[in-house]
Amino acid sequence: MTDAAALLLAYFLDEHLADGEEIRFAVSDGADVTRWTEVPIRIRSEVGERGLRDPFLIRRPDGGAVLLATDLRVLADGDWSRAVTRGSRAIAVSTSDDLVSWSAPRRTTVAPPEAGNAWAPKGAWEDDRYVVRWASALYGPGDRRPDDSHQRILRAESTDLEHWSAPVVELDPGRDVIDVQLVREGGAVHRFSVPKPEHQAAAGFPRHERGADPDADDWTVLAPAIGDGVIARGEGPAVAQAPDGRWLLLVDEFGLSGYHLFAADSLDSGDWRELPDVRLPEGARHGSLLRITAEELDRLRAAAGSPR
């Protein structure tokens, strides 16, 4: 879509809450992206690990939407080692025609047998197919799976979000890298990721790079650590263009204050600055943004019981 009247935010809350690992929604106050209204729509999972994290919204070619999410419930056992080494290799998929009513989540396996997990799926509809990326730790043959295998970014394609091409490793810097989102703009590809710092004690932040295509070798770093000096650490970058043309980036100060909203006049500038006095839903973390029409905004406001 070209024109947008507002933005839709999908997110989840802290895993220590009984209902934290469910998907929630909020809408911006029209073009004012500093004010948000929570929408009483929830997506809960009764399949797989019975938890949903890291939601990502994709616009379908017919105008509907797809929501992808990590199939993980940390509250169940708190065992991050198990989640990395023998977690779900599937992601959760939910669909909607109107952004108000969502299908019950189903699981679809994307990661190969040697993967220990499939985290934070993000994607887009490109050239008549869905292209989805996620993070996986990969292991060799045998039962022993050490915790120190690092996360790489894998990619697979599908026309129906059920049958997938063989996954390929798209990004592997030799240490953890997670939360990759690609944005195409002006003939270039902008890549947002969260690489683990070379120094173990250092905090990680989202990185913004520009390249010619997803498989390019010559990426230009436009912003090496977005939020450094403003927040203590950051992950879960969510990128979208605001109705006024600016670019927005949500960064999750995980384990602390949750999402912070940054803006840049253009992607090529790489000049991300935190917006002041932003009122996001309390505790919102690691989600995504979707541009929506005036009609969709009205439907979501009606669901929230808000005046138009």
Average pLDDT, the chain: 94
Q: Which three-class secondary structure state does DSSP give residue 298?
A: helix
Question: Stretch 201-230: mean pLDDT, rounded?
Answer: 93
Alpha-carbon gap, residue 139 to 48, rounded angstroms: 22
d(CA 96, CA 116): 30
The CB-side HSE value for 152 (13 A sphere, CA atoms) comes to 19
How far apart are alpha carbons 166 and 154 in whole angstroms? 10
* pTM over 0.85, yes/no: yes
Q: What is the pLDDT of residues 165-186, one digit of tens each?
A: 999 999 999 999 999 999 999 9
pLDDT at 308 over 60: no
Q: What is the pLDDT of residues 115-127, one digit of tens each?
A: 999 999 999 999 9
Give the type of residue at 85.
Answer: T
Q: Which residue has the tokens 């039962």?
A: 143
Lookup result for tokens 């997990």: 117
Domains in the chain (CATH in brackets) are 6-304 (2.115.10.20)
What DSSP letter does each residue of 255-298 carry, written as one string? TTTEEEEEEES-TTT---EEPSS-BPPTT-EEEEEEEE-HHHHH
| The total number of residues written for the chain in this structure | 308
**Is it the case that residue 147 has pLDDT exceeding 80?**
no
* pLDDT tens, residue by residue, 237-254: 999 999 999 999 999 999
Q: Which of 297, 236, 249 is nearest to 39 (CA)?
A: 297
